[in-house]
Amino acid sequence: MILLSGVSVLRAGRRVLSDLSLALPEQRIGVIGSNGSGKSTFARLLNGLILPTSGSVLVGGIDTARDAKAVRRKVGFVFQNPDNQIVYPTVAEDVAFGLKRERPKQAEIEERVADTLARHGLTGFENRLIHELSGGERQLVALAGVMVMRPEVLVLDEPTTLLDRRNTRRIAAVVQGFKGQMVLVTHDLGLLADFDRVLVFEGGTLLADGPPREAIAAYLAVSG
């Protein structure tokens, strides 16, 4: 369960999110809104990348402001631009990065990396250099680096925005197969058709909240 209580976020004196209170028990939650609406700030609140100026964010009962590290062990975050989270020069090294901080045995690291790469259609990419990969392949590597940690919650901030149609389908297939709770920020409204709930942000406030068809209709009504 994700719980936000009276959450506001200020940046440089400007209110980015205002007095947001939500309980999010659903498995698949979409987030949409115009640029600058506050949706990316909302996503970053969920794993402690951004802390609320006022109010609280709890994930599984853990307050992000009190124990962000514990929250990040539960919540995996995928950025719009994979270059913001890829840190190592080869695919296998990068996917293994988070595991090494947990210090499992090397054999377990290799097994989990190989299994995760296979699930993401990246078998044989272990020694490929990141800078030689396409944008879609880099996004899959970034996603694999999160999924190898086996998060309970997956938050994705517009992961298909920079991709062509083929790679968008590849990312969508991986997203569809995730069994935990997911929060997907996206401009691709078609990805949300079978989601449980969609949140619509506008001007730092929650404009609409409901089933995909109703929420998307409300979004289209204001976005033109």
Which has the closest alpha carbon to 42: 21, 27, 73?
Answer: 21
Per-residue pLDDT tens, the chain, 224 aa: give them: 999 999 999 988 889 999 999 999 999 999 999 998 999 999 999 999 999 999 999 999 999 999 999 999 999 999 999 999 999 999 999 999 988 777 778 888 899 999 999 988 899 999 999 999 998 899 999 999 999 999 999 999 999 888 888 888 888 888 788 899 999 999 999 999 999 999 999 999 999 999 999 999 999 998 76
Is 183:43 a contact under the CB 8 Å cutoff?
Answer: yes
Do strands 153-157 and 181-185 pair parallel, antiparallel, or not at all (unpaired)? parallel
Which has the closest alpha carbon to 155: 195, 185, 120?
Answer: 185
Is 136:108 a contact under the CB 8 Å cutoff?
Answer: no
- What residues form DSSP beta bridges with 200? 32, 208
pLDDT, position 154: 96
How far apart are the C-alpha atoms of 38 and 213, rounded to whole Å?
A: 21
How far apart are the C-alpha atoms of 120 and 147, rounded to whole Å?
A: 10
pLDDT, position 224: 66
Which has the closest alpha carbon to 196: 29, 78, 22?
Answer: 29
Largest pairwise CA distance in the chain: 54
Do strands 181-185 and 197-202 pair parallel, antiparallel, or not at all (unpaired)? unpaired
CA distances from 36 to 6, 8, 61, 189, 196 (A): 20, 15, 29, 18, 24
The type of residue at 157 is D
Which residue is associated with the tokens 């969609």? 198
Domains within the chain, CATH numbers bracketed: 2-223 (3.40.50.300)
Buried b (16+ CB within 10 A) or exposed e, 189-209: eebbeebbbbbbbbebebbbb
- Taking each continuous run of H as one helix and of E as one strand, the counts in the chain are 7, 10
Rg of the chain, C-alpha, whole Å = 18
Question: Which residues are CB-neighbours of 113 under 8 A, at least 6 positions away?
Answer: 92, 95, 96, 99, 126, 148
pLDDT, position 169: 86
